[in-house]
Amino acid sequence: MKIFKFSMLMLLAISVVRCSDDAENDLQQDNAITQQSVPLEVLSKLESMGFDMNKTSVIPEDGGYVVDGDIFITEETLQEGISSKQAFFGIVNCNRAGNIRIQNALGNNAAGRGFQRGIDLWNNVNRTTLRLIPVTSNPDILVRLSNPGEIGGWGRGEFPSNGVEGGLILLNLNEPSIDGDPVTDREWGNILAHEIGHNIGFLHVEQEFFGTAVPGTPVGSDPNSIMTSGSNPSVVFNANDVSRFDKRAVRRMYSNRNNRLCQ
């Protein structure tokens, strides 16, 4: 099956686990559990969607409910239920996720010039502890050009393993853009953001059956996700930002909340 030409099915090539001396981030957000005036059937619906009702606040609002402080779920969505969600294969340790060192070894080319955009698309998501820190040596994630024949398509990322981010991202300068022209700086930034998504755990949005669902992400595939696969590569190439559900997912995965998915 063709997967966005990013060839990210790396299950047999996940990087070796590395030790970390990162100091524990002990900043904790107040997460008082509020479920007052919420019908039991609503709580049951939310639980079936993957929310842990022992840790999840639910506040009624006009037309729906605010869940976990920043997720608004409408009454209509609750009636339909959520059977398919954005998903991750692995997840980075909470403490590591706040200081992931990433090195630009791409050189002076369009991909290298797009590097900062790629990391900014994730770093600019607010209310998450995930941070990608550019370094010039000793990286946690090395971003380099692929060797001839090493990969097909535009790029490849690695999934995390045992709480450690995927350690390598490859980009292929020999692959033209979707319009046949050379890939632009901006497009390379979007491609890199997609690959970083894999290195911090994300599957393609069409592959939720393959991993662990992120509670609160939408029914079916998110058509605007930076993690869209090869069925519609123009979504990634033309993205102005990661989608609102990408943001919702990364906030749930990496935060200071008690119900965060990272450990």
Per the CB < 8 A criterion, the answer to whether 170 and 155 are in contact is: yes
User: CATH number, domain at 244?
Assistant: 3.40.390.10
89 C-beta neighbours (distance < 10 Å), count: 21
Domain assignment present for residue 193? The answer is yes
pLDDT at 71: 58
At 97-107, the pLDDT tens digits run 999 999 999 99
Q: What is the mean pLDDT of residues 143-168?
A: 93
Query: How many domains, in total, are found in the chain?
Result: 2
Based on the fold, state whether residues 51 and 158 are members of the same structural domain: no
Based on the fold, state whether residues 71 and 190 are members of the same structural domain: no
Domain assignment present for residue 170? The answer is yes
Q: Which domain holds residue 94?
A: 87-253
Based on the fold, state whether residues 102 and 208 are members of the same structural domain: yes
Q: Distance from CA of residue 207 to its chain's centroid?
A: 13
At 38-84, the pLDDT tens digits run 998 888 888 876 677 887 788 887 788 877 665 567 787 677 654 55
Q: What is the mean pLDDT of residues 199-227?
A: 85
Strand residue runs (E) in the chain: 58-61, 64-67, 71-74, 87-88, 100-105, 132-135, 141-145, 155-156, 168-171, 212-213
Based on the fold, state whether residues 147 and 186 are members of the same structural domain: yes
- pTM of this prediction? 0.74
